[in-house]
Structure 1
Amino acid sequence: MTTLNGLRLLPWSGPGGKPCYLSTDNPESYMSRLADVIEAVQLSGASALLEEASEALDNQDTSLDEMRCLVSELTGALRDVLRIATSRGHLRATSDPSESAY
């Protein structure tokens, strides 16, 4: 689970919003497993938020303040999902093509 430079982009950011990376060749290490769990939580949260957004859009009574709050939450969730996609894209790029499910 490493990127082209041997580092895994972690699903959280460091001080100042800077990306955090993990250097390990052990996908079963504590930090690798922690990152996997956090990614799963983030993806689950994004899925639930997407459902909430769909309901809010269908509801004529949703207030402007509620929509602003929802957009703020969606922005954070999208940021998390893009970080995960970037990390996993790097993981796929470094894996053995013969192991690909395509």
Structure 2
Amino acid sequence: MVEHATPWPGRPAAEGPRLLPWNTAEGKPCYLSTDGHGYLSTLADSIETIQLGMGTELLEYARDATAPGAQAMSATEYRWLARRLTEALSDALRVADSRGQRLPGPEEDERDDDA
């Protein structure tokens, strides 16, 4: 089966299970074997888009909150911001890992060039 990631239309993806943007109840990674067009694959794409969008918004907030001349926050507020940034970075790294696993390897690129 081949996974087709929506951010790279027309580009073939590597074969194998897809790392999903959520964990099991035990905290272990979830994988999906799919052709890239099913309900769970579409749901995973949507969740990744939401996670990256929330990370972008949080980063903008953090930049504003820590800019020169910004009103100082309490230690609790800075800790909250650090926790949210940590979560957003974790989500972004998971999305990058998932999408990176679906990129074609060098041997697949050569086969596509020969076709």
TM-score range, shorter chain: 0.7 to 0.9
TM-score w.r.t. length of structure 1: 0.85
Cα gap change, 1:36 to 1:94, in 2 (>3 Å): farther
Q: Name the counterpart of 2:32.
A: 22
5+ residue gaps, structure 2, are 5-12
CA contact (8 A) 2:24 2:30 kept: yes
Greater fraction of residues in helix:
1
State the aligned residue count: 99
Please give the alpha-carbon distance, in whole angstroms, between the structure 1 residues aligned to 2:82 and 2:24.
23
Cα gap change, 1:30 to 1:87, in 2 (>3 Å): same
Q: Which has the higher contact order (CA 8 A, sep 6+)?
A: 1
The partner residue of 2:77 within 66, 79, 82 is: 66
Q: What is the Cα-based RMSD across aligned positions, in Å?
A: 2.3
Using the aligned pairs only, state the percent identity.
44
CA contact (8 A) 1:8 1:22 kept: yes
Q: Name the counterpart of 2:20.
A: 10
Displacement, 1:20? Answer: 0.3
Write the deviation string for residues 41-71 of structure 1: whole angstroms up to 9, x where unpaired.
0000000000011111112422211110000
Please give the alpha-carbon distance, in whole angstroms, between the structure 2 residues aligned to 1:14 and 1:56.
34
The partner residue of 1:78 within 83, 86, 89 is: 89
5+ residue gaps, structure 1, are none
Q: Quick check: which has more Rg, 1 or 2?
A: 2
